[in-house]
Each structure stands twice: as structure tokens, then as C-alpha cells.
Amino acid sequence: MRMKMLMRLSMAFVLAGMNATVSAATETEQVLASLQGYEWQLDRGRLAGLPADSWRTMLDIAQDTDQLDYIRARAAASLTAFPNDDVWRFFIQSTQDSTAVVSRRRGVDGLCAAFHESRKSALEAVLVPLLGEADTHLRVQTAACLQRLDTETSREVLAVYRAAITQDWEARAVSIDRRHAK
């Protein structure tokens, strides 16, 4: 009788482990499904319908080099709906450690979208050095985010940056007030 009970108990543990694996696979499938579609757009309502900790799965997908680039980009964009410390570190790493200019630009966009209200000072500290980067598009996106912050520091930094611009299109791009965009 005792042996029978031990067998049942061990079988229950095996099945419970399988349920956790199936549940994780289902969550990943749900998250991946939310990133599909020809005309995909960030839909915060759809994200709200996912499991509560789906941002962790989004983060895993955004960092998974085996995923298609557009899926990783969509996962990164979706992370802006979950402004927490792990998401902050992910976008910081994207802007500072990546050698791919597109990843750095997406990192700036993600930081600005997720943290422009909650971490203004920290965001300024991260963004200001990027105004000296060689990539003009990165500088323009950085300037747009700093303009959106609309703090005394960001206004001062932007005035210095604008005075140093040598390309006409860059000057036009950063003279547009984008504070209320998005």
C-alpha cells in the first residue's frame, strides 16, 4: 500500500512538472501570437489580456538572437508597456552595448516611450552622451526624447546641441517640437 501511494505521488509530481512546462509553452505561444501580423501595431489592450508576467517572456524573445529580427523588435516595442527595472536595463543595454545602430535607436525609442515620465533625470543621464554619437539618426531620436522630457537640463543641452549641428536636415528634424508626440 505504501509503495502504491509513493508511485501515485511521484506520478503526480511528474504530471505537475509537465503542466508547468505546457503552461510556459502556452504563454510563449500566446506572446509570440501577439507579435504576429502583417500590419502589426503595439496594442496595449491586447497586451493586457496576456498573463501578468508576460513581460518576462517578451524580454526573453527580445533578447533571443534565434528569433526573427522583426519579432525581436516587436517584443522590444511591447516592453514599453511594462516599465520596470528589468525593462530599463534591457533598453539601457540596447543603447550602450549594441554595435548595431538600429538596436541603439530602438533602445532610445523604448527608453523614451516607457520612462519619459517616471525616470526623467536618469533618462537624461543616459541620453545626453548619445548626442555626441556619429549616427545622425540616433542623435535626432535622442534629441526628440530630450525635447519630450522638457526639463531645464534637457533644454540647455538641446540648445548646445542645436548650435553644433552642421547638416540642414538634422537641424530641421530637431527643431520640431515633439514633446507631445506618441
Give 125's contacts (C-beta < 8 A, 6+ positions apart).
none
Instruction: Work out the pLDDT band at 176, boundaries 50, 70, 90.
Output: low
CA dihedral 74, 75, 76, 79 (to 10 degrees): 120
- Other CB atoms within a 10 A radius of the CB of residue 80 amount to 20
pLDDT tens, residue by residue, 109-138: 999 999 999 999 999 999 999 999 999 999
Q: Average model confidence (pLDDT) for the chain?
A: 83
Give per-residue pLDDT as tens, 142-167. 999 999 998 999 999 999 998 888 88
CATH class entry, domain 83-182: mainly alpha
pTM recorded for the entire structure: 0.78
How far is Cα 18 from Cα 87, in angstroms, rounded to an integer? Answer: 29
Within the chain, all domains assigned CATH 1.25.40 are found at: 83-182
